[in-house]
Amino acid sequence: MSISLSEHLIAPARVLRGEGAWEACLPAIGALCRRPLLLGRSCATEALRDGLAADLRRLGLDPLLAQLQFDCCEEDLRRLQQAVITANAEPLAVVPIDAVLAAGGGKVMDAGKLLADRLGLPCITVPTSAATCAGWTALANLYSPAGAFIGDVSLQRSPALLVFDHRLILQAPPRTLASGLADAMAKWYEAAVSSASSTDGLVHQAVQMARVLRDQLLLEGKEAMAQPGGEAWARVAEACGLTAGVIGGLGGARCRTVGAHAVHNGLTQLAASHGHLHGEKVGFGILVQLRLEELVGSNRLASQARRQLLGFFRQLSLPVTLAELGLVEATLNDLQRVCSFACQPGSDLHRLPFAVSPADLLSALVSTDAAIEQPASADANR
């Protein structure tokens, strides 16, 4: 047996994790650059970024602060790329911008990685929540200025440095960790079904890592949410922000995004869903993927898995219905638009081992929502 040639960008060149990782990483940042572009977005984390910038200045660096106006989109990227070119062309710019330091959530880190990739600069990722593994991966998702998913972009390199500081992560709202749990759990549900027939040893190992990750999150997710900063919280936060990235890097696309992420991508086409986090939409997408496996893939065990996952998501206060995702007024045309986008050529959905049409996905989407609503009403009457 021969394995076809493949390239794997598995991990950042260096990872610092734990409480105080930011302070510990400062010498490493100083060795990488002298004038980083410090990129962020949220007003809620502006004071945090100001503190990071002050630390960099005390180190003798000269950071240039920049802020995204939208999600990771071409309009922002072109503006920022031009800002870097302009700053470097200034007569007094003795030290050029020589790195991108992205501090924020997943879309900020995606934008930072993509900007660094285009400029040929090293990227430093500093997650301020455990909502995604974007700080780890050599991949970026592109959105429209309105927040609709457009596509993903494979990068030429992984981040040069990932700083996963528990004190920074702990400042994020609890909702972000719940979202990270759903996003990380998708690794198992997507990888297990899309990679079952693979003969690649690395893929097998990534799938087994995804199973272990799922089990850990099921065992410790509730405790992690209940005791922020505790031992279970630390393990779960790192599982969401770090381990999930390892699995995608090792196993490739089929261990990274399949049906659940395709549903997420479709849902982002509706503006009413934009108030919900990436992992919240992915979590609902897992439930829809499992329903697809029942209806189209004839997987009898998928129904049992969906029921188990539904109870767990409810414990974490994750949205599990279209109404809870802000789509209470979604029309049939809206849902057809979601399904058409999710089923377009090249979609992650087509990594499933069976063909799925927009009509199939619509049936799974609608019946998933109905099946969830009915047990909830029954439970309320007990």
For the domain made up of 15-170, give the CATH fold.
Rossmann fold (3.40.50)
Res 143 pLDDT > 50? yes
Average pLDDT over residues 123-134: 98
Specify the pLDDT at position 95. 83
Specify the pLDDT at position 6. 78
Specify the pLDDT at position 374. 56
Confidence of residue 240 (pLDDT cuts 50, 70, 90): very high
* Amino acid in position 357: S
Confidence of residue 42 (pLDDT cuts 50, 70, 90): confident
Res 373 pLDDT > 90? no
Name which residue leads in pLDDT, 252 or 324: 324
**Tens digit of each residue's pLDDT (9 = 90 or more) over 179-220:** 999 999 999 999 999 988 888 999 999 999 999 999 999 999
Q: Name the strand (E) or helix (H) holding 67.
A: strand 64-67
Name which residue leads in pLDDT, 369 or 379: 369
Specify the pLDDT at position 92. 65
Specify the pLDDT at position 332. 96
The three-state secondary structure class of 224 is helix
Residue extents of the structural domains in the chain: 15-170, 179-373
Res 2 pLDDT > 80? no
Q: Can you tell me the distance from the alpha carbon of 124 to that of 142, in angstroms, rounded to the nearest whole number?
A: 19
DSSP state at residue 254? G
**Tens digit of each residue's pLDDT (9 = 90 or more) over 68-109:** 999 999 999 999 999 999 888 877 667 899 999 999 999 999
Contact 184, 244 (CB under 8 A): yes
* Average pLDDT over all residues of the chain: 93
| pLDDT > 70 in the chain, percent | 96
Q: Work out the burial of residue 298: count CB atoms within 10 Å of its CB; fewer than 13 is exposed, 13-18 middle, 19 or more buried.
A: exposed
Res 146 pLDDT > 90? yes
Question: pTM score, two decimals?
Answer: 0.94
Res 378 pLDDT > 60? no
DSSP code string of 300-358 = THHHHHHHHHHHHHHHTT---STTTTT-TT--HHHHHHHHHHHTSTT-GGGGSSS---H
Q: Which of 239, 34, 47, 225 is nearest to 132 (CA)?
A: 239
SS3 content of the chain, % helix, strand, coil (to 5): 55, 10, 35
CATH code for the structural domain at 179-373: 1.20.1090.10
Q: Which of 323, 237, 200 is nearest to 273 (CA)?
A: 323
**Tally of residues, the chain:** 382
Q: Can you tell me the distance from the alpha carbon of 110 to that of 125, in angstroms, rounded to the nearest whole number?
A: 9
Distances (CA, A) of 46 to 8, 64, 168, 275, 372: 35, 14, 13, 20, 39
* Alpha helices per DSSP H over 71-135: 74-89, 106-119
- 39 token code pair: 């990129």
Contact 194, 254 (CB under 8 A): yes
